[in-house]
Chain A
Amino acid sequence: MKYLILGFLAVGCIFIGYIFSLKYSRRAKFFKALVMLCQKLDVEINYSRERLKTLFESFDEKTKKQLQGLDKNYLTYLANNTSLDESNLFKGLNFLKQNEKDTLLIFFRSLGRTDLASQSKELKNFEKRFEEFSSFANGENKKYGSLSIKLGIIVGLIVVVLFC
């Protein structure tokens, strides 16, 4: 019985470590998806000139999943005659830092507001900014993401050793 409980405790510690690491991997995937979003928008806007609503709805499921609800929040804003602010754009996204939120808010507020040439330039500028975020988030993920799992394993082992 004792060993069973210790086993559960060890698994629990590893799981907590994994949960912490998820935050970093989600951030990394999120910014990677944002870069892809910029690229897709730039291509589609220049080629098909489709409306934003159609473009956001036509993203593939994988990208949508990685955007973690940001696309849905933006589509809700497009559908309603409301203003775009932090509370409605970042609903359910609790892993973003304030400077990232500020940049994203400016990005989404600028979408659809200008002519084709200006919109395309803006998208390219934001793509570069998101690439910076993405490489930073990747670094964080490599550094702290794996560290969290390792820490979880170590803590789990310590618990097992201490109580054995």
Chain B
Amino acid sequence: MLKNILPENIYNILSERVSFNAINELRIRADKPIVVSVGSGRFFLSDHGLSGNLKEAIFATRIMIEDIIFRASECSIYSVNEQIKKGFLVTTGGVRLGIGGDLIEEEGHIKTMTNFNSINIRIPHEIKNCSLTAFPHILQDETLLNTLVISPPGAGKTTFLRDFICQLSERNYAFNVLVLDERGELDLGGSLGNFADKISFASKKVGFENGIRSLAPNLIVTDELGGQEDIEAVRYSVNCGVNLLASVHSDSIESFLKKPSYSKLIEERIFKRYVLLSMRNGPGTLEGIYNENFARITKY
């Protein structure tokens, strides 16, 4: 997929001199050097591959950025305007582009984004069995426990969720799984197993309500819970008797507990399991699994 969206010279350097499997993220900013995140390190992209020397770095241009976005939208920006308004764009292969530019607002509503000036290309990785250690703690006695995956950005939340859905399917747990894929990142094309339905690019509120009503799921899997509306959607789902596997941005249990919007959920013990991921040994490092009282069940 990246071959279709990146400029030929950039793609050739990345594929010949750097391995795509090792790359987590590409940062392309107008008139600035292209930065590649590999593991937990960041390097400039040069003609020779990765470099720590700014003088060797390849600089991006505004036209390059516009072309990448144009290609990523399959040459049809109008068709992905709703995504661009939210600041991202997901390609058919599940590659997510975070986009920076000028937001045009009209009467309090975002109309579109223009003058694109930066892109953050996140390259998804399918890490088989990465959720396996946590699996028996989330699924106990054939019962799914409401679980929240906590991790900083880029530490493997989405990969964990995707693998968990896959593990359920591979073990023939025929739970009806509803994947609420708000940013189109969870499904890498057939990677969600045999028992998953998917609603894409809908807000949590709309997706939860419609999905529960129409698809009668046993489990809802969703990525990156955010504001109060998402919390309400979680409460709605639990009140409907639907289990939940979700993720949230936070770098530790302590900082998560300080988030005021989650205090009610924590008090009500809606989530029975908390899985903490970090970047300590690279993305997806499992730091611990906690119960509803935040007592550590396992330590890694």
* Chain A interfacial positions (CB closer than 8 Å to B): 45, 49-53, 78, 81, 111-119
Given contacts A81-B3, A81-B8, A115 and B84 within 8 Å (CB-CB): yes
The answer to whether the Cβ of B126 comes within 8 Å of any Cβ in the partner chain is no
* Chain B interfacial positions (CB closer than 8 Å to A): 3-4, 7-8, 66, 70-71, 73-79, 81, 84, 111-112, 114
16 contacts between A and B (CB under 8 A): A45-B78, A45-B79, A52-B74, A52-B75, A78-B75, A81-B3, A81-B71, A111-B75, A112-B75, A112-B78, A113-B66, A113-B77, A115-B78, A115-B114, A118-B112, A119-B78
Most interface-central of A45, A111, A112 (chain B CB within 10 A): A112
Q: Give A99 Cβ to nearest chain B Cβ, in Å.
A: 26
The answer to whether A51 touches B112, judged by C-beta atoms less than 8 angstroms apart, is no
Question: Which residues of B sit under 8 angstroms from A53, Cβ to Cβ?
Answer: 74-76
The answer to whether B112 touches A115, judged by C-beta atoms less than 8 angstroms apart, is yes
The answer to whether B74 touches A114, judged by C-beta atoms less than 8 angstroms apart, is no
Question: Which residues of A sit under 8 angstroms from B84, Cβ to Cβ?
Answer: 115
The answer to whether A51 touches B74, judged by C-beta atoms less than 8 angstroms apart, is yes
Question: Which residues of A sit under 8 angstroms from B81, Cβ to Cβ?
Answer: 115-116
The answer to whether A112 touches B70, judged by C-beta atoms less than 8 angstroms apart, is yes
Question: Which residues of A sit under 8 angstroms from B73, Cβ to Cβ?
Answer: 112
Question: Which residues of A sit under 8 angstroms from B79, Cβ to Cβ?
Answer: 45, 49-51
Question: Which residues of B sit under 8 angstroms from A111, Cβ to Cβ?
Answer: 75
Give Cα A18 to B78, complex, Å.
Answer: 44
The answer to whether B4 touches A81, judged by C-beta atoms less than 8 angstroms apart, is yes
Q: Give A157 Cβ to nearest chain B Cβ, in Å.
A: 54
For A120, give the chain B residue with the smallest CB separation: B78
The answer to whether B78 touches A114, judged by C-beta atoms less than 8 angstroms apart, is yes
Instruction: Name B75's contact: one of A51, A115, A117, A118 (CB within 8 Å).
Output: A51
The answer to whether A115 touches B77, judged by C-beta atoms less than 8 angstroms apart, is yes
The answer to whether B78 touches A49, judged by C-beta atoms less than 8 angstroms apart, is yes
Question: Which residues of A sit under 8 angstroms from B71, Cβ to Cβ?
Answer: 81
For B66, give the chain A residue with the smallest CB separation: A113
Give Cα A45 to B79, complex, Å.
Answer: 8
Give Cα A39 to B70, complex, Å.
Answer: 22
Give Cα A118 to B66, complex, Å.
Answer: 16
Given contacts A112-B78, A113-B77, A116-B81, 7 further A-B pairs with CB under 8 A are: A49-B78, A50-B76, A52-B76, A53-B76, A112-B70, A113-B66, A115-B81
Instruction: Name A51's contact: one of B4, B7, B66, B76 (CB within 8 Å).
Output: B76
